[in-house]
Structure 1
């Protein structure tokens, strides 16, 4: 009953308190939704780096799939895809479709078979690349450590900043709610 009598005595002040609380909660939900979306985007970006394992020219498919199985059994991979010489040639043609002179010089025999490794977390890529390098059938492992390290640092900074911002917004809303209800009611 005390609330209703307070609203009757000072309707404009009560309306301002209600407006302030509504605005504060709306902003909190907008920021929380934005940060949730940002977190999903950062999570997606973190899954995109890959390591590519190139094999010696005459490596048997069984040896390649054995390494693929070893990598999958670590529990650190999201996906390990096999790229045959034909697929590699197709990718190469797609990348260089505007330069026919280069396309004429390359055949599928010139391109090696490979595995494309996608890790569950980019921090695992270094371990997976090291495991692949130990295999005698592996000619080269293409893993951009500097780029992946920068990506990890940037995404972790964005996530930490977003959480700090959301926490500060929550505190602001809490204090606005506390102060307006304490003074008004």
Structure 2
């Protein structure tokens, strides 16, 4: 029997809610959308790249978003002492690129676990909670709020869900949702 990614019941964003519930609702919708793009596909299909010269795959996107969930919510916002998921790989984009031997079931389970861990990590923090992050250019650091992290994560998922929609369409013609 061929393994297939599990089906997903996508939650939908609230139309009326306070700011935290609205941000969480949109984030959850986008989280579910990525998993929905993978639903019903085989391991081989999840490894299918978009179009040359790109090597972008649904499996790579799942791994990337698991790493990004951990990075922004747990490592940055709450200073939890956990390593990045792919820190032992010399390729800084290993989450996206190193998929030949990656287990899709494990990657989807990791994404689900990281989402739950991220939500738990920030559940009691106010949106105004801030932390410092070293600037990429080495010129000091920036103060970042948890509110910014939510907005950034919604943007990150939205951008990658657009990629996922195109990759899924290439695989089997499924679009939308």
The structure whose residues are more often helix, as a share, is 1
TM-score, normalised with respect to structure 2: 0.31
Higher relative contact order (CA 8 A, sep 6+): 1
TM-score, normalised with respect to structure 1: 0.30
The structure whose residues are more often strand, as a share, is 1
Q: Who wins on radius of gyration, i.e. which is larger?
A: 1
